[in-house]
Amino acid sequence: LAPWIPVVGLEIHAQISSNSKLFSGSQVQFAAPPNSLVSFFDASLPGTLPVLNRRCVEAAVMTGLALNCSINKRSLFDRKHYFYADLPAGYQITQQRVPIAVNGSLSYSLCIDNKMSQMVTKTVRIKQIQLEQDSGKSLHDDTRSQTLVDLNRAGVGLMEVVMEPDMCCGEEAAAAVRELQLILQTLGSSQAIMAEGQLRVDANVSVHHPGEPYGVRTEVKNINSIRFLAKAIDYEIQRQIEELENGGTILNETRAFDSKLGCTIPMRDKEGKQDYRFMPEPNLPPLILYDSKSLPANMNHQQVINIDWIHERLPDLPSVKREKLVEQYEILPEHSFTLLNEDGLAEFFESVVKQTQMKPKKVIGWILNDLLSYLKQHSLTVKESPVSSFLLADLLNLLEKKEISSTAAKQVLAELWKGEGKTPLEIVKEQKLELLQDQKELEQICQAVIDGQENE
């Protein structure tokens, strides 16, 4: 049987972290009472006009720069038409012709063969980033045959990030999305919490034989976590391979991922392709951005966005942070990944290092093996840890000073998890875990043991 090459591309919608919506002044807030955050424009009242939110543009520029994109100094807005209850105006304002950023790349790392010790770096090309409006939410109440519409989310700013089909499986896609998530959170341009709908991923999947053209692709939607993303993609790849090997064909369709069944199913309401009748948005002039070279001298800097100014103020991206951790603390690259992957873990680690004489190379083991596994076991975040960095550092100091053995240290740690407020020293004393340092005393004990053995 000829081998199959799976091809995976992603369309990611990230909600912009801003106080107000993309084109109107109403607030952005998760889980507010229905229809309490809706301005006249969001409700599409006739005669209202869009006004662009500066913060949203800045967020998109930051994200574009962080993803190595070219920022288009001139980008345009368009209307994408379709009728749906959660789209009050009957069209979405998006950037179809000329988006704000294009041609970037994202590097991410994977473990080969599930061994943490072998990491490989991959790159996925970023086709573009565009600004667009989010839609409202519609809930179908089948018992009363009605549809309930909540427009709180209508008009919230989104960045759509399009990743080229450079990935080959669920694992790669998951790693790429995870890295994107970290970048967005570091920039602050999006909080990117998938569970709150701030990061939504659609996957485009196809398979083909080497040397042949790309196969028909399907779009997989309704994926609510990174874990499910990998599952959904791998399932779909398998489904397509099986279908084709059985002589079937793949339809160019949209499928929803059913997390309970672990499979993808066709979505019902796509009859024929939609023609979105794109048209330029006449109420928004072209978006003009400047850099230090093109900025006119007498321009009020409140009125314009300077790309270079934003570039200078970008925080350290995750990849840079990891490099610095590795360099500064002489830890392994895979350690740095785990540190950044867990919210607050890197800060915890650095805090412990500051408070102890133990070498960071040794501290890291305690952090990644003991602390992290305990947190995972009990589904706690770093912030919720009953053992503070102070306590852990205290404990590690005892170990470093050879006042206890490492076995004893693990026992103390187990006691500390109970969170009863005792210090490591107190626990050591209680449980008599001190290491004996006195040579003479040790000789006496050993002699007693030997004597005891001789008597048997």
Q: Which residues contact other proteins by CB under 8 A?
A: 40, 43-52, 79, 81, 83-85, 88-91, 145, 147, 149, 151, 275, 277-279, 282-285
Residue (33 or 282) nearer to other proteins, CB: 282
Residue (278 or 417) nearer to other proteins, CB: 278
Amino acid at 186: T
Report the distance separating Cα 210 and Cα 229, nearest Å. Answer: 25
Residue (92 or 385) nearer to other proteins, CB: 92
Residue (91 or 108) nearer to other proteins, CB: 91
Residue 142 CB, nearest approach to other proteins (Å): 12
Residue (251 or 279) nearer to other proteins, CB: 279
Residue spans of beta strands (DSSP E) within 249-394:
254-258, 263-266, 279-280, 287-288
Residue 251 CB, nearest approach to other proteins (Å): 21
Residue (81 or 208) nearer to other proteins, CB: 81
Which runs of consecutive H residues, i.e. helices, occur in 117-187?
170-187
CB neighbour list of residue 264: distance below 8 Å, 6 or more residues apart? 218, 220, 232, 235, 236, 239, 255, 256, 257, 258
Q: How many beta carbons lie within 10 A of that of residue 357, not counting itself?
A: 10
Residue 80 CB, nearest approach to other proteins (Å): 10
Residue 148 CB, nearest approach to other proteins (Å): 11
Report the distance separating Cα 438 and Cα 403, nearest Å. Answer: 12
Residue (81 or 422) nearer to other proteins, CB: 81
Report the distance separating Cα 283 and Cα 306, nearest Å. Answer: 23
Report the distance separating Cα 249 and Cα 251, nearest Å. Answer: 6
Residue 135 CB, nearest approach to other proteins (Å): 13
Residue 46 CB, nearest approach to other proteins (Å): 4
Find tokens 């398979």 and name the residue.
207
Residue (55 or 125) nearer to other proteins, CB: 55
Residue 100 CB, nearest approach to other proteins (Å): 17
According to DSSP, residue 320 is labeled H
Q: Provide the Cα torsion 444, 450, 455, 456; round to 10°.
A: 140
Report the distance separating Cα 393 and Cα 410, nearest Å. Answer: 13
Q: How many beta carbons lie within 10 A of that of residue 232, not counting itself?
A: 28
Residue 30 CB, nearest approach to other proteins (Å): 23
Find tokens 């920022």 and name the residue.
71
